[in-house]
Chain A
Amino acid sequence: AQRVTQPEKLLSVFKGAPVELKCNYSYSGSPELFWYVQYSRQRLQLLLRHISRESIKGFTADLNKGETSFHLKKPFAQEEDSAMYYCALRTGGFKTIFGAGTRLFVKA
């Protein structure tokens, strides 16, 4: 079955600490993975996609096909990173499967 799992509903870290939001997927084909973010009172928006291999707002994510993971990382968390983060898997065509989301809270 095609599935995206984000094991943490809530992740709380101190400002300046490293942060890692976990994402595991289940898909037998060639996956395309994304991280979307929703800041308070803003709409859901794309943060990054694995094929771009870029760093956005200091965040990076590497696709690990062996572990079927696409964890989102940032070495030094900032208060403005507090938001809801969704991992998403596009399985081909028009269908994208979203994880349940992880709320990141960065404490001062």
Chain B
Amino acid sequence: DGGITQSPKYLFRKEGQNVTLSCEQNLNHDAMYWYRQDPGQGLRLIYYSQIVNDFQKGDIAEGYSVSREKKESFPLTVTSAQKNPTAFYLCASSKTGQETQYFGPGTRLLVL
């Protein structure tokens, strides 16, 4: 199950705190994505990146930020502006935007 990894598996956030979720891939994929998964709602796109140093907002980008300084890495920061951060976060990558997405194992974020 290599290829795309996410850490940590569980993350706890205190009120007013920013936290960063890690996503790394060694598949040499150009495109990377962050999704949020809530019960009964499927996956919703937060941010995506087509190439290094470029990223675009998805449907629910408010309260989140990302960076893409390296091809292999696409970290997601959940800021204090995100009022309802408790969710399961999935990272994915694809060779290009037209190809199949490969998913990481996910990070579950909980608010203390």
Q: Which residues of A contact B (CB under 8 A)?
A: 4, 6, 9, 34, 43-46, 49, 86, 93-101
Contacts and interface: CB of A to CB of B under 8 A. Distances in A.
Given A43-B105, A44-B90, A45-B103, A96 B42 contact: no
Interface residues of B, number: 23
B63 interface: no
Interface of B: 1, 31, 33, 35, 40-45, 48, 50, 56, 58, 90, 97, 100-106
B97 A86 contact: no
A94 B43 contact: no
Given A43-B1, A94-B50, A96-B101, 19 more contacts: A4-B42, A6-B42, A9-B40, A43-B105, A44-B103, A86-B43, A93-B97, A94-B48, A94-B56, A94-B97, A95-B45, A95-B48, A95-B58, A96-B45, A98-B43, A98-B44, A99-B42, A100-B41, A100-B42
